[in-house]
Amino acid sequence: QLQLQESGPGLVKPSETLSLTCTVSGGSISSSSYSWGWIRQPPGEGLEYIGSLYYSERTYYSPSLKSRATLSVDTSKNQFSLKLSSVTAADAAVYFCASGFRYYYDSSDGAFDIWGQGTLVTVSS
Partner 1 sequence: SYELTQPTSVSVSPGQTASITCSGDKLGDKHACWYHQKPGQSPILVIYQDRQRPSGIPERFSGSNSGNTATLIISGTQALDEGDYYCQAWDSSTVVFGGGTKLTVL
Q: In the complex, which residues of this chain contact partner 1 (CB under 8 A)? A: 37, 39, 46-49, 52, 60-64, 96, 103, 108-113, 115-118
Q: Which is nearer to partner 1, 44 or 124 (CB)?
A: 44
Q: How far is CA 110 from CA 54, 97, 105, 122, in A?
A: 11, 16, 10, 30
User: What distance in Å separates the CA atoms of residue 110 and residue 71, rounded to the nearest whole number?
Assistant: 18
Q: Which is nearer to partner 1, 43 or 125 (CB)?
A: 43
Residue pair 87/105 in contact (Cβ under 8 Å)? The answer is no
Q: For residue 108, with 0-12 CB atoms within 10 Å meaning exposed, 13-18 middle and 19 or more buried, which class applies?
A: middle
Shortest distance in whole angstroms from residue 109 CB to partner 1: 5
Q: Which is nearer to partner 1, 15 or 25 (CB)?
A: 25
Q: Which is nearer to partner 1, 103 or 105 (CB)?
A: 103
Q: Which residue in 62, 14, 9, 56 sits closest to 31, CA to CA? A: 56
